Amino acid sequence: MAEMSFRDALRLTLREELLADEKVILMGEDIGAYGGSYSVTKGLLEEFGEERIMDTPISESVVVGCGIGAAMGGLRPMVELMTINFSLLAFDQIVNNAAKLSYMSAGQISVPMVIRMASGAGSQLSSQHSHSLEGWYAHIPGIKVAVPYTPRDARGLLKTAFDEQNPVIFIEHTALYARKGEVPDEDYAIPFGQAEVIREGTDVTLIGYSGSVYQALGAADILAESGHQAEVINLRTLRPLDVETIIASVSKTHRAVAVEDDWKFGGFAGEIAAIIMEEAFDELDGPVARVCGADVPIPYAKALEQAALPSPQQIADAALALF
């Protein structure tokens, strides 16, 4: 095992994929000479050259469109869109082309591409750089959505993403890039649709993904002080979603709180609540609670930004209300 940061785990995996397959190319704004907005691709241009590490114009729709064409032509592109907010400029390409081409061609066309983007708040990047829109992409058939929490997740899920034959939206929380964790020395991959029970408990299930897992773990510590043992689930992927692990946990604890940074109305936490109601209604001792971001654009000011995000105390309070 080696300890490394989230960003270093991503860089290591990208380098290995570039070395293993000459069809792998990287495309995106500032990913070459600058090394990426979050330093994930630093050094790769010098090692692999401009034909494989391509700095692109500031035009997300064009970048994704080029990636789709490259994938259809036999390459395996990784496209970086800097932030999930900017991906909205490429939403048509992602939803109407990348996600649908395999279906519309009856499987004759595949689009093996990875679209990386940063998400989440907590770094004072204001409202056009800080939102958590991954639930929007999880809504779309034809694409898979990975949301790693640990450096081990980042490496293992990115390995799997490069093996997929159709598009993967790979979302990285900005507040996690510098966080360190243990990563196995040996080569490994984490299958999509395989959540992790990151903390065992018997009294309530806290369900999160990406940065909200950190908040859920903080809530579990608070609950432990009052004698309640919370089980914390790290979803790892939103599509496919590991429903089996969620239901097994809720069947044990009989209470559930879904957590996400995104807005509550129409958010992915509501999807989790609906699935639990449909699959495990008789196991519940109370309604499924949701703790989500405030219904405002993310503010720039640090105190306001933190107030707009779910806190461990809010999650703990929501859990306590179920007892």
Q: What is the mean pLDDT of residues 211-239?
A: 97
2-183: CATH topology is Rossmann fold (3.40.50)
Q: What is the mean pLDDT of residues 152-177?
A: 97
Which tokens go with 195? 């959540």
pLDDT range class, residue 45, cuts 50, 70, 90: very high
pLDDT range class, residue 160, cuts 50, 70, 90: very high
2-183 and 196-320 have identical folds: yes
pLDDT at site 129:
84
* CATH of the structural domain 196-320, one choice from 3.40.1710.10, 1.10.150.80, 3.40.50.300, 3.40.50.920: 3.40.50.920
pLDDT at site 125:
80
In angstroms, what CA-CA distances link 46 with 21, 42, 49, 53, 230? 18, 9, 6, 9, 47
pLDDT at site 121:
84
Catalytic position from the list 17, 60, 134, 172 = 60
What helix, strand, coil percent values describe the chain, rounded to 5?
40, 20, 40
pLDDT at site 127:
82
pLDDT at site 94:
98
Catalytic position from the list 129, 131, 173, 228 = 129
Q: What is the mean pLDDT of residues 160-167?
A: 96
pLDDT at site 123:
78
Give the phi and the psi of residue 216 in degrees, each rounded to 5: -65, -40
Does the annotation count 60 as an active-site position?
Answer: yes
Is 208 a residue whose pLDDT tops 80? yes
Q: What is the distance between the alpha carbons of residues 201 and 288, in angstroms, rounded to a whole number? A: 17
pLDDT at site 267:
95
Which tokens go with 250? 């809720």
pLDDT at site 279:
97
pLDDT at site 174:
94
Is 171 a residue whose pLDDT tops 90? yes
| Residues 68-107 as b or e (16 or more Cβ within 10 Å = b) | bebbbeebbbbbbbbbbbbbbbbbebbbebbbbbbeeeee
Q: What is the mean pLDDT of residues 47-57?
A: 96
Residue spans per domain, the chain: 2-183, 196-320
Is 264 a residue whose pLDDT tops 80? yes
Per the document, the length of the chain is 323
Is 210 a residue whose pLDDT tops 90? yes
pLDDT digits (tens, 9 = 90+) for 76-131: 999 999 999 999 999 999 999 999 999 999 999 999 999 999 998 877 788 888 88
pLDDT at site 84:
94
**DSSP 3-state assignment of 64?**
helix
Give 211-277 as a DSSP string. Answer: HHHHHHHHHHHHHHHTT--EEEEE--EEES--HHHHHHHHHHHS-EEEEEEEESTT-HHHHHHHHHH
DSSP state of 135: H
Kindly report whether the global pTM for this prediction surpasses the value 0.85. yes
Question: What mean pLDDT, rounded, does the chain reach?
Answer: 96
Whose CA is closest to 134, among 143, 145, 150? Answer: 145
Whose CA is closest to 291, among 315, 307, 267? Answer: 315
pLDDT at site 217:
98
Check: CB of residue 41 under 8 Å from CB of residue 67.
no
Is 38 a residue whose pLDDT tops 80? yes
In angstroms, what CA-CA distances link 27 with 80, 113, 179, 202, 274? 6, 11, 25, 46, 38
